[in-house]
Structure 1
Amino acid sequence: MTRTDLAEQLLALGVTALSDALDRLGIDGQACGIMPVVRTMRFAGPAFTIRMVPVGLSGGVVGDYIDEVEPGAVVVIDNQGIMNQTVWGDILTLVAHTKGVAGTVIDGVCRDSDRCVELDYPVFARGNTMRTGKDRTTADAYGVPVQIAGIRINAGDWLVGDADGVVAIPFDRIAEVVSVAQDIEAAEDRIRQAVLGGMRLDDARRQAGYHALQTRRE
Structure 2
Amino acid sequence: MAEDVNVKRAAEYDTATLSDALDRLGIVGQCYKIAGRSDAFQMTGRAFTMICGPASTPPGTVGDYIDDVPAGEVVVIDNGGREDATIWGDILTEIAHRRGIAGTVIDGVSRDVALCRKLGYPVFSRGHWMRTGKDRVQVEEMGRPVNIGGARVAPGDIMRGDADGVIVIPRSHENRILDIAAEIAAAEDSIREAARSGMRLDEARRQHRYHSLQTRKD
TM-score range (shorter-chain normalised) is over 0.9
Measure the CA separation in 2 of the matches of 1:93 and 1:56. Answer: 25
- Displacement of 1:75 in angstroms is 0.2
- Counterpart amino acid of 1:55? A
Measure the CA separation in 2 of the matches of 1:187 and 1:105. Answer: 30
Number of the residue aligned with 2:167 = 167
What secondary structure, in the 3-state scheme, does the structure 2 residue paired with 1:50 have? strand
Would you say 1:124 and 2:110 are equivalent positions? Answer: no
Which structure 2 residues correspond to residues 1-218 of structure 1 after superposition, within 5 A? 2-3=3-4, 5-218=5-218
Q: Residue by residue, what CA displacement relative to the aligned partner does 1:15-49 show, whole Å, maximum 9, x if unpaired?
A: 11111000001111000211111111111111000
Measure the CA separation in 2 of the matches of 1:148 and 1:193. Answer: 37
| 8 Å Cα contact 2:7-2:158 kept in structure 1 | no
What secondary structure, in the 3-state scheme, does the structure 1 residue paired with 2:80 have? coil
| 8 Å Cα contact 2:6-2:175 kept in structure 1 | no
Deviation beyond 2 Å, 4+ runs, structure 1: 5-9
Measure the CA separation in 2 of the matches of 1:56 and 1:79. Answer: 15
- Displacement of 1:57 in angstroms is 2.3
- Displacement of 1:117 in angstroms is 0.9
What secondary structure, in the 3-state scheme, does the structure 2 residue paired with 1:115 have? helix
What secondary structure, in the 3-state scheme, does the structure 2 residue paired with 1:190 have? helix
What secondary structure, in the 3-state scheme, does the structure 1 residue paired with 2:30 have? coil
Q: Which runs of 5+ in 1 are unaligned?
A: none
- Counterpart amino acid of 1:139? V
- Displacement of 1:58 in angstroms is 4.5
- Displacement of 1:56 in angstroms is 2.8
Count of aligned pairs: 217
Q: Residue by residue, what CA displacement relative to the aligned partner does 1:98-149 show, whole Å, maximum 9, x if unpaired?
A: 1100000000100011110111100001110000000001000000111000
- Displacement of 1:82 in angstroms is 0.8
Measure the CA separation in 2 of the matches of 1:7 and 1:173. Answer: 13
- Displacement of 1:151 in angstroms is 1.1
- Displacement of 1:169 in angstroms is 0.6
| 8 Å Cα contact 2:53-2:139 kept in structure 1 | yes
Measure the CA separation in 2 of the matches of 1:71 and 1:96. Answer: 9
Q: Residue by residue, what CA displacement relative to the aligned partner does 1:153-204 show, whole Å, maximum 9, x if unpaired?
A: 1111110001110000111211111100000011111111111111111111
Larger strand proportion, structure 1 or 2?
A: 2
Measure the CA separation in 1 of the matches of 2:88 and 2:149. Answer: 17
Measure the CA separation in 1 of the matches of 2:3 and 2:27. Answer: 24
- Displacement of 1:8 in angstroms is 3.2
- Counterpart amino acid of 1:132? T
What secondary structure, in the 3-state scheme, does the structure 2 residue paired with 1:121 have? coil
Measure the CA separation in 2 of the matches of 1:141 and 1:55. Answer: 13
What secondary structure, in the 3-state scheme, does the structure 1 residue paired with 2:161 have? strand
Measure the CA separation in 1 of the matches of 2:58 and 2:130. Answer: 24
- Displacement of 1:61 in angstroms is 0.7
Measure the CA separation in 1 of the matches of 2:104 and 2:134. Answer: 19
Calculate the aligned-residue CA RMSD, in Å: 1.1
Measure the CA separation in 1 of the matches of 2:212 and 2:58. Answer: 52
Measure the CA separation in 1 of the matches of 2:192 and 2:8. Answer: 24
What secondary structure, in the 3-state scheme, does the structure 2 residue paired with 1:72 have? coil
Measure the CA separation in 2 of the matches of 1:112 and 1:14. Answer: 27
